[in-house]
Structure 1
């Protein structure tokens, strides 16, 4: 069985801080990250989706965590084709526009290249410390299975090399009918790590819980099963606490997946209150 690391998709969420999960003494960002790293060997940074990180911030993350700790970084929204707030872009690269949100095509080619270069460069302190795990590329619901999108997956792989990108889809076309085998075969052929998900079903963005290792790293993200999945309130969207029974049912499936890869990352993304931390702790017990 490959090495399994379990963690959560946040350690700074407001509702987590209010939940009492952190002890009273963990009252600074440094102390909170240190406490988190005592409990889990892995964390996913989602803030980098909304705004690209600063190199100084990445350096602090590296300094404040023990050897062997791993950060997975969610790719900046512009790099996955999501609408991106102009205010989130580097100031000198912002296009002259009255739009609040922009897409890659709204930037000059040179500016777009600079976004890529600066985003990756800022992560260098984590790379130097051996603490960068993977870059999560979560694509939007309109990113369907087609040749141009497959080519973009390969482009991402080339752009980030020698770093490692992992891929999460949000459109069912990748797994409808015979497309499932086609998708997994393409990913395996090019050694692109697939991100398996557990999420609410029946929505346009729903992906079935296909567990598959398509490279040396397998990733599973637990999004919960909130009945308010379409809510614009992120806490309503992800506010779901997995039951003991649900996690026990998942344990043998996760162990089987881990046997098919050298490493497996399991992330709980049900980030409301201390739900993600509680469920991640339970998964660690079930998988060890």
Structure 2
């Protein structure tokens, strides 16, 4: 099955009116898409009560992709607010309980920073992370080009396959070492993830005050999305569950592009949440 959605549900004005209560946004979002990426978990390990509420706000078949906490992926370079790394991973695993109990956890996404390059100590850390997560399904996304250089490409794929990582395939600007190419490898796994970051090559490496808003400011056109249709059909034959999320949220384009792709693939989802009816 192909699950299409976006990263985060809080800023998707395309889907609900400007006066919609934050408490109801996920409920309305779930009337359009069968999956979402939880990005708040990257900034702080979420209280169990949050996940419990989100699980209750979505239909039984809805699936969550939960982003790993930044302390687990090396984004926060200072001290972690935990006694040890083991305690940090334990706290994160505990926060996943409502998703797991309700069978709504698609995977945990480990997205590593651009400075996480291909070298022995980083390979060993990936092994350690996977061991800490136990049997929880985990996706791996690189942001440094070295992992897919010709000299490491085959070994990277073999390593991910052996360690049972779900592959997070990226569509992003090709802008030096801090970006990775499109690598259409399913690894023969039960699940595969595709993340659309946009193709704003000029804003990808900028570190201005509002760099996050600039980096993901992009709208895919129909030609670009059609090029992906064949890739998606190929991957669909190789895996049981194909998850696709759009991360080009800066200009409010993610939801539109996700709906566009659903139309291009001719998908009609069943078992979505009931949509709110307009007054007229």
Tell me, in whole angstroms, the C-alpha distance in 1 between the residues paired with 2:56 and 2:118.
Answer: 40
Please tell me whether residue 74 in structure 1 is matched to residue 67 in structure 2. yes
Tell whether the 8 Å contact from 2:194 to 2:245 is kept in structure 1 after alignment. yes
Please tell me whether residue 216 in structure 1 is matched to residue 210 in structure 2. no
Q: Deviations over 1:125-155 (max 9, x none)?
A: 1111111111100111121112322222222
The structure with more helix, counted as a fraction of residues: 1
| TM-score, length basis structure 1 | 0.86
Instruction: Determine which of 224, 233, 252 is the counterpart of 1:274.
Output: 252
Tell whether the 8 Å contact from 2:225 to 2:261 is kept in structure 1 after alignment. yes
Tell me, in whole angstroms, the C-alpha distance in 2 between the residues paired with 1:52 and 1:272.
Answer: 24
Please tell me whether residue 159 in structure 1 is matched to residue 132 in structure 2. yes
For the aligned residues, what is the CA RMSD? 1.7
How far apart are 1:103 and its partner, in Å? 4.7
Tell whether the 8 Å contact from 1:82 to 1:103 is kept in structure 2 after alignment. no
Unaligned residue ranges in structure 2 (runs of 5+) = 268-280
Tell whether the 8 Å contact from 1:45 to 1:74 is kept in structure 2 after alignment. yes
Tell me, in whole angstroms, the C-alpha distance in 2 between the residues paired with 1:119 and 1:188.
Answer: 24
Q: Deviations over 1:87-130 (max 9, x none)?
A: xxxxxxxxxxxxxx5156xx77x432221111110121111111
Tell me, in whole angstroms, the C-alpha distance in 1 between the residues paired with 2:213 and 2:21.
Answer: 23
Aligned to 1:126: 99
Distance 1:160 1:248, change over 3 A: same
Question: SS at the partner of 2:36?
Answer: strand
Unaligned residue ranges in structure 1 (runs of 5+) = 84-100
Aligned to 1:186: 159
| TM-score, length basis structure 2 | 0.88
Aligned to 1:228: 203
Tell whether the 8 Å contact from 2:65 to 2:108 is kept in structure 1 after alignment. yes
The count of aligned residue pairs is 261
Tell whether the 8 Å contact from 1:51 to 1:76 is kept in structure 2 after alignment. yes
Question: SS at the partner of 1:72?
Answer: strand
Please tell me whether residue 113 in structure 1 is matched to residue 86 in structure 2. yes
Tell me, in whole angstroms, the C-alpha distance in 1 between the residues paired with 2:168 and 2:48.
Answer: 26
Tell me, in whole angstroms, the C-alpha distance in 2 between the residues paired with 1:180 and 1:244.
Answer: 30
Aligned to 1:97: none
Distance 1:103 1:182, change over 3 A: farther
How far apart are 1:231 and its partner, in Å? 3.2
Moved over 6 A (4+): none
Tell whether the 8 Å contact from 1:81 to 1:103 is kept in structure 2 after alignment. no
Please tell me whether residue 55 in structure 1 is matched to residue 48 in structure 2. yes
Tell me, in whole angstroms, the C-alpha distance in 2 between the residues paired with 1:51 and 1:23.
Answer: 28
Distance 1:181 1:148, change over 3 A: same
Aligned to 1:200: 173
Q: How does 1:235-274 map onto structure 2 within 5 Å?
A: 235-274=213-252
